[in-house]
Amino acid sequence: MAFIFDDRLRGTVSERLARFPREARDADGLKHAAVAITLVPDETEAAFLLTRRAPKLNAHAGQWALPGGRIDKGETPVEAALRELSEEVALDLHPSQVLGILDDYPTRSGYLITPVVVWAADLAPMRPNEAEVASIHKIALKELVRPDSPVFLTIPESERPVIRLLIGEDHIHAPTAALLYQFAEVGLRARETRVSGLEQPVWAWG
């Protein structure tokens, strides 16, 4: 199933996110961060942005990631997500391009992540900040509704299932996989699905 990047898709996703009873959490000692799930055009088809983190970063170098980072003092999650999107991939978006917010997701590494869904029609300014981003990738939204994905794994270290999301011939794990899975469930399938019970692989716990 392909998704067309048009006003109809924007309205549908925005409406579904507005109806979704988002679960906000107290950071409670966790470092609060925000990420941008950015919907973009790939010719006529709708896609979202994933980045490869720069190889010289101290944490999670080379991994798939959504643009995002720590929320600065006095910032809202929306403000932080838009700032990080600008800093990492040079897309300067107005708050009116925010379609909605999904559940806060606590990570094993000590973060509370707020996912902000945004709409970016003009990609002309887009370029990677080489200090943080090795490359930017447009991934078709249809990858998020594949019948063979996600995959849920069991591990001896946790009673919670580990989510693995298949993207092309590659895969990603939580937290990014959990956030994208919830977006697909809520925004694309109109399902009220929670993801806080989805586990990260043990190597991501540190």
pLDDT at residue 53, as a whole number: 82
| 24 three-state secondary structure | coil
pLDDT at residue 62, as a whole number: 59
**Does the domain spanning 7-204 belong to CATH 1.10.3720.10?**
no
- Domain-by-domain residue ranges, the chain? 7-204
pTM, whole model, 2 decimals?
Answer: 0.95
pLDDT at residue 185, as a whole number: 98
β-sheet with 158-167: strand ranges across: 151-155, 158-167, 170-173
DSSP 36-49: EEEEEEETTEEEEE
Q: Consecutive 10-residue runs of the chain (206 residues): their mean pLDDT? A: 94 98 93 98 96 66 85 97 97 98 96 98 95 94 97 95 94 96 98 96 84
Backbone torsions φ then ψ of 39, nearest 5 degrees = -85, 130
Instruction: Identify the bridge partners of residue 117 per DSSP, sorted by sequence position.
Output: 37, 100
